[in-house]
Structure 1
């Protein structure tokens, strides 16, 4: 006989200490869990973003059902989920493998067992399920509309294939209009990287972020008792390291043929930022690269950027960048080592000292700029809250500004980032380029206060720049500042 509905409602979901960050996501899940109405959430997050980690632990906290799909047939998927359901309800027949014959039977069983009480069902990597069982979204729609409409079922469909997950919500799809909420699992920002390497100094935390990126699945591999060089050598430069080849296989789960996609990533990571440069580097006409590039953007592997003063729909000053620092680092340093066979011939620590360190400052210059822009968009330590943050470059690309932040009251912050020292010439260029940028702003955005900001990862200022910072005529920020928002 099905259990009676709980008279006390849904149990509170306490976030365990092992879940770093993700407070907003956990709070959203807890709020949805506590409500008396049904919910259908769509969860999006890149592989290694900790999506499965958080969802599985929330399911455990509320005694829910969690299933992570894999590339298997429909029969195998249904049998695997049947066993998990059987284990959840201590149903010996299901747990031993006497599975349901259809998805309708499985969902009907869950409806009966819930009997009006709240029940959480998480189907992770849902695109694998939908590929194996193309009718599943339609079946879910029917069950949702006819059986769960007055229930307390909480369903989460999650996946790392962004294109496929967004397709579920399009107007011609069965689940269109049924979503009640969305969960997004972005990579960690810089300030959360320190939780994985608490004994590192601020600059080494930035280096760790610039090399390993912000995916918690990567950061969790770092050993706290090892310095940065040892961690990089063990995880990335050693051929047997966990991240030695992750960047060259990351698309394989989504595409059968990904050679062109990998070539685009390699081109951007090694300096090709414009469409013309990318097509030349890849060696293919632009028409054949448009679709792969669009897919890489949709999957959040590559970002299209324009000057902050430009209209995104009409701007022709487009550049492209790699979103993940780990991927950028791997293609910049590791790919050439693999191509030359050096990773098999040279010890990992020697590769770090001889092949990585000489080019690390140049690489980190660009990574540091991105970290600073991200920090400016989140921090409360500026004189105003930016409504838009980006970079700027003129039509000739001769004049560039690393950070531009625009405020709702026409405030304008213009910043320059230096991984090393910040000298008088840097401040002079900043002032000159700030004037050029200001002249290009729309009239409606002009007239507000102009704030100059200097960023030095080392906190190394020339005497006159230090005096300007002390006098308050410019703002100065260091690596340590970036670890607190």
Structure 2
């Protein structure tokens, strides 16, 4: 898989390795997000041992672990009978050689032996003060990494010198992997999201439609069952979670709506949603003017574009896909695809707003940016600058027709409903449009509003 970006993460790892002291870094994140590629890229020009844990017999696992250390140090493999001895051997080598030692898929070691975090604690405490090496623990099971490595109850708690919570690419970064023109790139990103493995799976010499048919609608493709596989790696009984994710992806975004669509009572539902949020499958959103902790106006969204696409179009139609995938594309995906892309377009526009803030494209330096809604009224993007009592209001349209004055006039009207610093505030307006703007809108609002067609969006991103 081609390696893209991750400059900040590589710089963080480099800083830890060159700090002239022992470093202990925890790298974690969802499967397919590129953790292994990041670590291989970092290790490629440095002395290192890369140990990939696997689900096999504990004795064989331990033997491979010791053999990897001995091979790096050009020594005969010692006779080691316990994990305690194996980690003591590692500690001795970390203290007498400067190198990077990576344990990838660390949760598999913990599954074999729950005492391993304690053995590692001894390594860090006993050998760390005399070492200039870098120890990296990496894992895809977020629940295990958070409980057994990062959690308060873990023997390793408080001993890491850094952690990298690796996230999928935003659109700006993903664009480097997508060789379509901007409009098709946005549509493709709405399918793959920013997960590197999904991005690089598509063949961008083919049309997006062909890629969807080949890599998503084919029951032999890795993506066909991918979300179910991801859930099963984290959850023993994923059935209820699958139904919740499908409900959210098909438009049931409030707790009441999700409960009605799934038949799960509100009490248990809150626990399911909390688990899905912790595992990065779901995000919770409140109006940008509201308190994250106190607001009861919560909306839930599937966190990843591909998962959203899959639960909206694939999971409800598995039987039909098995028999007639072409008809599913024509009759199910194509008619609703624009609506799916429109939601993703809003998030891309929020990216553009943040980039505009960083580059002083807007008048205000907004510290909070997000959606706003109250009752039946909604604004796609609202930015808040409490220091200057300044408000940014923006709408995004993924339509085939140019945006006219009606949208701008409607946004002006809705601005009065945003109850934030209503006494004496400054307001700034922006519009984003796939198909540009009418001459009338340019004449009436062009001098005072920020107008972003696709060419302006491409320039800012």
Aligned to 1:318: 298
Which consecutive residues of structure 2, in runs of 5 or more, have no partner in the other structure?
A: none
Pairs within 5 Å for 1:95-110: 100-110=80-90
In the alignment, is residue 436 of structure 1 matched against residue 411 of structure 2? Answer: no
SS in 1 for 2:233: coil
Q: Which of 246, 266, 278 pairs up with 1:298?
A: 278
**Shift, 1:67, TM fit:** 2.0
Alignment match, 1:418 = 397
CA, structure 1 residues 141+452, in 2 after alignment: closer, same or farther (shift >3 Å)? same
Which position in structure 2 is the counterpart of 1:76? 60
Instruction: Measure the CA separation in 1 of the matches of 2:103 and 2:445.
Output: 53
The residue matched to 2:300 in structure 1 has which SS?
strand
1:192 maps onto 2:173 in alignment: yes
Q: CA deviation at 1:480?
A: 4.0
Moved more, 320-329 or 79-88: 79-88
Question: Counterparts of 1:136-175 in structure 2 under 5 Å?
Answer: 136-167=116-147, 168-175=149-156
Name which of 315, 318, 336 aligns with 1:359. 336
Deviations 1:246-289 (A, max 9, x none): 12222111111111111111110001010000011111211122
Alignment check: 8 A CA contact 1:196 1:222 kept = no
- Pick which of 170-179 and 474-483 moved more: 474-483
Structure 1 residues 247-266: aligned runs within 5 Å: 247-266=227-246
Is 1:333 aligned to residue 298 of structure 2?
A: no
Provide Cα deviations, 1:159-201, integer angstroms capped at 9, x if missing partner.
2222332222333321121111111211111112222222x11
Residues 57-97 of structure 1: per-residue CA shift (max 9 Å, x gap): 21232121122323334333322322333443344x54xxx
Match of 2:441 in 1: 465
Counterpart contact for 2:17–2:133, Cα < 8 Å? no
Alpha-carbon distance in structure 1 between the residues aligned to 2:267 and 2:169: 35
* Aligned with residue 203 of structure 1, among 164, 175, 183: 183
Query: Per-residue CA shift, 1:358-393, capped at 9, x if unaligned?
Result: 111122122211222233234433333321111111
3-state secondary structure, aligned to 2:264: coil
Query: 1:428 & 1:87 partners in 2: Cα distance?
Result: 70
Structure 1: runs of 5 or more not aligned: 1-16
Distance in 2 between the 1:269 and 1:357 partners?
16
Secondary structure of residue in 2 paired with 1:253: helix
Q: Is the 8 A contact 1:41 1:157 kept in 2?
A: yes
* 1:133–1:118 distance in 2 versus 1, CA, 3 Å: same
Kindly tell me: are residues 80 and 110 of structure 1, through their superposed partners in 2, closer, same or farther at Cα, counting changes over 3 Å? Answer: same
1:469-484 alignment runs, 5 A limit:
470-471=446-447, 473-483=448-458, 484=460
Which residue matches 2:13?
A: 29
TM-score norm. by structure 2 comes to: 0.92
**Structure 2 counterpart of 1:455, from 423, 426, 432:** 432
Count matched residues: 453
**Conserved? CA contact 1:268–1:322, under 8 Å:** yes
- 8 Å CA contact 1:206–1:479 kept in 2: the answer is no
- How far apart, in 1, do the equivalents of 2:182 and 2:207 lie? 13
State the secondary structure of the residue aligned to 1:244.
coil
CA contact (8 A) 2:87 2:119 kept: no
